[in-house]
Chains A and B, each alone.
Chain A
Amino acid sequence: MTDENTIAPDRASRPRLTVEGLAVERGGRRVLTELSFSVEAGEALLLTGPNGAGKTTLLKTIAGFIRPLSGRVAYSGAAEDRPLAERAHYVGHLNGLRATLTVEENARFWAEYLGGSTGHVLAALERFGLASLSAIPAGYLSAGQKRRLALARLLFAPRPLWLLDEPSSSLDARSTAVLASVLDEHVEAGGIVVAATHLPLGLARSRELRLGFAAGPA
């Protein structure tokens, strides 16, 4: 199993995330109808819209957790053979931490599991200001610190597509700025960011996709 899935800098075959005619139903309610858009390498797309507009549903559908009623999600890029989910980082509402493992154990597990190198772990923790907390069980962290640890996962393993659900929730101003700089660098290096957010993330360049309520039976 190869562990290096670095982002191809090759401009000729620019990776691109394409969503075509997507329709998704949740609990019998049509949440997304006929949604089409595409994001190119080097772009950040912010999903906005009222609660219940389908931002999380869209992210989960892209990640492959939810099967759409119709339409398709495709990612064309250098490593065509890997399924989309394996080329994406998904940071959802939940942080994916185990309370009884220390910050560093949580981090190392994700780095090894997601196929990154453990060498990146300390640098990533440092970046998000968690280096001094690395020996503390994750259960003792504050909400913002847990969020930072979840976001540090983005840096453990290089993956081109980042799917973020409210990434800046419970972050303070300084950490939000760190997050913005990490996202900007990823986009700069030819990555793709799709983030659902209510708060401005402060990205240098980004597009916005506003989701509204889909028409359909209530």
Chain B
Amino acid sequence: MSAFWTLVKRDLLIAAREGGATGTALGFYLIVIALMPLGLGPDMQLLSRIAPGVLWIGLLLAALLSLGRMFDTDQDEGVLEILATGPLPMELVAAAKALAHWISSCLPLAILAPVLGLLLNLELAAYPVLVGTVLAGSPAISFLGSIGAALTLRSRRGGLLIALLVLPLYIPTLIFGISAISAVVTPPGSLGSSLLLLSAVTIASLVIGPISAAAALRMQLS
């Protein structure tokens, strides 16, 4: 298991060193959310009603931006071949990289989300739920995203292709994430069951993501 954490640490070090991915995602998220009140007008009630959905969709799109970098530099430099000769099966290599992506990209976005809630006049009661749903739901973004990142390795400029492949997989996360917040903002609704379903989607993605990504990575190796 030490090889797993060695790989996670290396990817986090690279993310910190290269910096660009996290910064771009945060900047993108900020701008998309800041544009909403400008486009929709200063109707506070409207903004506060659509805030949960807008915050979640913006977060998904921002996290997508950095997915393409999960494997591509390592593929170009021949790192994947050597990782394949290591003690970890490809499934755990993919899981380590998805975990590093979650820590370096999704976690900063999750911290930014409540700040951006201010721009959209999000109801006060919704903040804890927003943070909770984003933390519970965002691992699915990285782990399901690793499938798209691995599949599009060989295609140059696979960025848009990743979005097409991966965004449909995010639908359950989006639905349960928003319904949990709506349960608090516009009752009636069940906060508990939404949160449980959101966590279930995340747990399923922790298994499905690495297994599928590993199959794609093995194909890329040959």
**Contact flags A117-145 to B (C-beta < 8 A → 1, else 0):** 00000000000000000000000000000
User: With a CB–CB cut-off of 8 A, which chain B residues contact A99?
Assistant: 77
User: With a CB–CB cut-off of 8 A, which chain B residues contact A207?
Assistant: none
Stretch at the interface among A36-44, A62-70, A196-204: A62-70
Query: Closest chain B residue to A100 by CB distance?
Result: B17
CA distance A148 to B87 in the complex (A): 24
The answer on a CB contact under 8 Å between A1 and B1 is yes
The answer on a CB contact under 8 Å between A101 and B14 is yes
- A114 interfacial contact with B, CB 8 Å: yes
The answer on a CB contact under 8 Å between A109 and B2 is no
Determine which of B2, B14, B82, B222 lies in contact with A66 in the assembled complex, contact meaning CB atoms within 8 Å.
B222
The answer on a CB contact under 8 Å between A1 and B78 is no
CA distance A85 to B2 in the complex (A): 19
The answer on a CB contact under 8 Å between B222 and A113 is no
Chain B interface main SS type: helix
The answer on a CB contact under 8 Å between A113 and B83 is yes
Please report which residues of chain B, range 205-222, place their CB below 8 angstroms from some CB of chain A when the two chains form the complex.
221-222
CB distance from B11 to the nearest CB of A (A): 10
Chain A residues touching B, range: 20 to 34
- B183 interfacial contact with A, CB 8 Å: no
The answer on a CB contact under 8 Å between B6 and A60 is no
CA distance A105 to B12 in the complex (A): 13
The answer on a CB contact under 8 Å between A153 and B87 is no
With A92-B78, A95-B77, A109-B10 in contact, do A65 and B3 touch (Cβ < 8 Å)? no
Q: Give the number of A-B contacts (CB < 8 Å).
A: 80
The answer on a CB contact under 8 Å between A113 and B84 is no
User: With a CB–CB cut-off of 8 A, which chain B residues contact A67?
Assistant: 222
The answer on a CB contact under 8 Å between A86 and B86 is yes
Query: Closest chain A residue to B15 by CB distance?
Result: A100
Query: Closest chain A residue to B218 by CB distance?
Result: A65
CA distance A63 to B13 in the complex (A): 29
Query: Closest chain B residue to A26 by CB distance?
Result: B222
User: With a CB–CB cut-off of 8 A, which chain A residues contact B82?
Assistant: 90, 96, 110, 114, 153
User: With a CB–CB cut-off of 8 A, which chain B residues contact A85?
Assistant: 84-85
The answer on a CB contact under 8 Å between A90 and B86 is no
The answer on a CB contact under 8 Å between B84 and A65 is yes
Q: Quick one: which of A86, A90, A98 has the most chain B CB within 10 A?
A: A98
The answer on a CB contact under 8 Å between A65 and B81 is yes
CA distance A98 to B76 in the complex (A): 10
CB distance from A106 to the nearest CB of B (A): 9
Query: 19 more A-B contacts (CB under 8 A) besides A1-B2, A94-B76?
Result: A1-B3, A1-B87, A63-B85, A64-B84, A66-B221, A85-B85, A86-B85, A88-B85, A90-B85, A95-B78, A96-B82, A98-B79, A99-B77, A100-B17, A101-B10, A101-B14, A105-B13, A114-B82, A115-B87
Nearest 6 CB-CB pairs, A to B? A94-B78, A65-B221, A112-B6, A100-B17, A96-B82, A66-B222
Q: List 20 A-B contacts (CB under 8 A).
A: A1-B1, A60-B221, A63-B85, A66-B222, A90-B82, A95-B77, A96-B79, A96-B81, A97-B79, A98-B14, A98-B73, A98-B77, A100-B14, A109-B6, A109-B10, A113-B10, A114-B86, A114-B87, A115-B86, A115-B87
